Chains A and B, each alone.
Chain A
Amino acid sequence: MDFLLAPLQFPFMQRALLGTVSIGILAALIGTFVVLRRLAFIGEGLAHGSLAGLALGYVLHWDLYLVGNIYTVALALFIGYLHEKSKVSLDTAIGILFSTSMAIGIAIISNLKFYTKDLTGYLFGSVLAITPFDLNIILGATVLILVILTFFYKEFVFYAFDPEMAEVVGLPRTVLHYSMLAMIAITVVIATQTVGVILVTALLVIPAASALQWTRSLKVLLSLSVGFGVTSAVVGLYLSYYLNIASGASIALTAATIFLMSFLFSSNPINVRRSLGFKEK
């Protein structure tokens, strides 16, 4: 018991725990839609593209993650827009914009001599550095997205399963599409705080992919995914604390272990193809 409670005497550890759990829930929920809509690449792309937003926040001496959020949401909407308005596939649109955005970020950083400590935090996650203000943003975003998903659950499910028929039924397909992109962007930037930009995909995709090994019911899938996300976050955080490894790595490795267990012990091997990113015809 002491083993679990001792670290929590530190306020930064309390914030870290609240923050990671919150992010674990959020990433698992949004990640379920990401996996179902096969948007894993967009999570990765937005995470890397957010570099420019964070660098911008750094230059302007504003809150990194607030600026990063706004910037990345704009980037996500622009990716969606480019895909819709030009004859460019979504993958290609992501490829073009995330690399461009990341290049802008690198240009700013190389000019500025970013403190390496900040950069390491950004790349690998620095969960122990979450400030009370950061925590408010994390909790606020999580509550906001939870409320949106709860109120428009059936609409988002319809859109995810069959966007064209959703439109026939009169649902605002474009609004749903862009809202989903915006929610993915916010989730990605926020998750960057705990797992870092390189491992964001882990928190976004692995819990949902693990849950897909066990069930074909969407509600069970969402609950399992959240369960796995929270477990990865909490176990990862303690591993990070006691073993002194970057939180991003320990959280991602815990998630990966859950996936491996699910893969080995569930009797649903078909889903492995999707989890690995293969597209069905």
Chain B
Amino acid sequence: MSEPFAVEFDRFNLNYGDHEVLKNINLAIPSGTCLGIIGPNGSGKTSLLRSIAGLIQPVSGEVKVFGHVPSRSWRHRQPIGYVPQWKSIDQEFPISVYEVVMLGRTGRLGFFHSPKTEDHALVERILVRVNMLELAARPIGQLSGGQQQRVFIARALAQEANLLLFDEPGTGLDIPTQESIYRLLEELHEDGITTLTATHDLMALEFHHFDRILCLNKHIIAFGPPEEVLTPDILAKTFSGVPWPTKLVGHGA
């Protein structure tokens, strides 16, 4: 992507009813950034990601992705990969792991086209990458939560997006799976793909070196390289009233 910024927020305000969720967000995330978004529960991390994915609209201001408003038709051509917070899916939907990952190709294929040899090859490569090839034929409902999460990451990868959004990707997963997810983030970073990862779990910072950190609590508390942002002061402001692991406060600085 030649665009200098992957995501730009301009005086962005988001409400749910009368409830202010995001207040005056001004932010420009350079292309290729591996961003960690931290903040307590209810700080608007998910809403921020959903706004970028085009799922919710602001009351004022705008968000641009690679210089464009991410309208539906734009997203159809320029995919944004989104891995939502793990939620219980329809366990009985008759669809295999392979088919779920292939759904990620839907936008790239466009209407009236069915998957070609390249698409099948790509889906297979991605399944190898997330270590799910042996389970490709399994119905998705028969997998564990962590395995399902890996399938949804694979589906996002199948979009071949230059921007990937991860909402709490490690939550509820065992340590090896979390490590493999953060290893994947590193690989994506090396490929020049912009990733935005939301987490309320500061331990995630132990696993992974984000090159930028965004501290969010309805408005932006701080945005910058970890060594500047992960200070006791800023963390206290971000998590005001929320205890955080003291060990980390020295760690980031």
Q: How far is the CA of A218 from the CA of B141 in the complex (A)?
A: 13
Q: Is A60 an interface residue (CB 8 A)?
A: no
Q: A157 and B79 in contact (CB under 8 A), knowing A170-B73, A280-B90?
A: no
User: When the two chains form their complex, are residues A154 and B107 in contact, meaning their CB atoms are under 8 A apart?
Assistant: no
Q: Is B179 an interface residue (CB 8 A)?
A: no
Could you mark each residue 169-191 of chain B with 1 if its beta carbon is under 8 Å from any beta carbon of chain A, else 0?
00000000000000000000000
In the bound complex, residues from chain A placing their C-beta under 8 Å from that of B77 are 170
Q: How far is the CA of A63 from the CA of B5 in the complex (A)?
A: 60
Q: A154 and B103 in contact (CB under 8 A), knowing A167-B55, A217-B94?
A: yes
Q: How far is the CA of A164 from the CA of B159 in the complex (A)?
A: 15
Smallest Cβ distance from B228 to chain A, in angstroms? 32
User: When the two chains form their complex, are residues A281 and B106 in contact, meaning their CB atoms are under 8 A apart?
Assistant: no
Q: How far is the CA of A166 from the CA of B88 in the complex (A)?
A: 17
Q: Is A151 an interface residue (CB 8 A)?
A: yes
Interface residues in B129-153 (C-beta closer than 8 Å to A): 139, 141
In the bound complex, residues from chain B placing their C-beta under 8 Å from that of A221 are 94
Interface stretch, picked from B21-29, B109-117, B212-220, B230-238, is B109-117
A158 contact from B82, B103, B112, B114, Cβ within 8 A: B103
In the bound complex, residues from chain B placing their C-beta under 8 Å from that of A172 are 72
Q: Is B201 an interface residue (CB 8 A)?
A: no
In the bound complex, residues from chain B placing their C-beta under 8 Å from that of A212 are 92, 94
Interface residues in A153-174 (C-beta closer than 8 Å to B): 154-155, 157-158, 160-162, 164-172
Smallest Cβ distance from B190 to chain A, in angstroms? 25
B92 contact from A151, A164, A274, Cβ within 8 A: A274
Q: Is A271 an interface residue (CB 8 A)?
A: yes
Secondary structure at the A interface, as helix, strand, loop or mixed, is helix
Q: Is A270 an interface residue (CB 8 A)?
A: yes
User: When the two chains form their complex, are residues A158 and B106 in contact, meaning their CB atoms are under 8 A apart?
Assistant: yes
User: When the two chains form their complex, are residues B111 and A168 in contact, meaning their CB atoms are under 8 A apart?
Assistant: no
Q: A157 and B95 in contact (CB under 8 A), knowing A167-B55, A170-B73?
A: yes
Q: Is B192 an interface residue (CB 8 A)?
A: no
User: When the two chains form their complex, are residues B106 and A154 in contact, meaning their CB atoms are under 8 A apart?
Assistant: yes
Q: Is B53 an interface residue (CB 8 A)?
A: yes
Q: How far is the CA of A270 from the CA of B92 in the complex (A)?
A: 8
Q: Is A114 an interface residue (CB 8 A)?
A: no
User: When the two chains form their complex, are residues A151 and B112 in contact, meaning their CB atoms are under 8 A apart?
Assistant: yes
User: When the two chains form their complex, are residues B111 and A157 in contact, meaning their CB atoms are under 8 A apart?
Assistant: no
In the bound complex, residues from chain B placing their C-beta under 8 Å from that of A81 are none
Smallest Cβ distance from B172 to chain A, in angstroms? 16
User: When the two chains form their complex, are residues A171 and B107 in contact, meaning their CB atoms are under 8 A apart?
Assistant: yes
Q: Is B69 an interface residue (CB 8 A)?
A: no
Q: Is A141 an interface residue (CB 8 A)?
A: no
Q: Is A152 an interface residue (CB 8 A)?
A: yes
User: When the two chains form their complex, are residues B94 and A216 in contact, meaning their CB atoms are under 8 A apart?
Assistant: yes
Smallest Cβ-Cβ distance to A271: which chain B residue: B92
Q: Is B36 an interface residue (CB 8 A)?
A: no
Q: How far is the CA of A168 from the CA of B107 in the complex (A)?
A: 9
In the bound complex, residues from chain A placing their C-beta under 8 Å from that of B91 are 280
User: When the two chains form their complex, are residues B88 and A167 in contact, meaning their CB atoms are under 8 A apart?
Assistant: no
User: When the two chains form their complex, are residues A154 and B109 in contact, meaning their CB atoms are under 8 A apart?
Assistant: yes
In the bound complex, residues from chain A placing their C-beta under 8 Å from that of B16 are none
Smallest Cβ distance from A266 to chain B, in angstroms? 13
Smallest Cβ distance from B67 to chain A, in angstroms? 17
User: When the two chains form their complex, are residues B55 and A171 in contact, meaning their CB atoms are under 8 A apart?
Assistant: no
Q: A161 and B93 in contact (CB under 8 A), knowing A154-B103, A154-B109?
A: yes
Q: A281 and B88 in contact (CB under 8 A), knowing A168-B53, A169-B76, A169-B107?
A: yes
Q: A218 and B76 in contact (CB under 8 A), knowing A154-B103, A164-B84, A168-B53?
A: no
Smallest Cβ-Cβ distance to A215: which chain B residue: B94
Q: Is A36 an interface residue (CB 8 A)?
A: yes
User: When the two chains form their complex, are residues A157 and B90 in contact, meaning their CB atoms are under 8 A apart?
Assistant: no
Of the candidates A164, A168, A217, the one having the most CB atoms from chain B within 10 angstroms of its own CB is A168
Binding site for A on B (CB under 8 A): 53-55, 72-77, 79-80, 82, 84, 88-96, 99-100, 103-104, 106-107, 109, 111-112, 114, 139, 141, 155, 159
> 13 other contacts beyond A170-B74, A171-B72, A274-B92, with CB at 8 A cut-off?
A36-B90, A152-B111, A154-B114, A158-B103, A165-B103, A168-B75, A168-B80, A169-B79, A170-B77, A215-B94, A218-B94, A271-B92, A280-B90
4 residue pairs, one from A and one from B, having the closest CB atoms: A170-B76, A170-B75, A216-B139, A169-B107
A-B contact pairs, 23 of them (CB 8 A): A152-B111, A154-B109, A154-B114, A161-B95, A162-B89, A164-B84, A167-B54, A167-B72, A168-B80, A169-B76, A169-B79, A170-B74, A170-B107, A171-B72, A171-B107, A216-B94, A216-B96, A216-B141, A218-B95, A218-B99, A221-B94, A271-B92, A274-B92
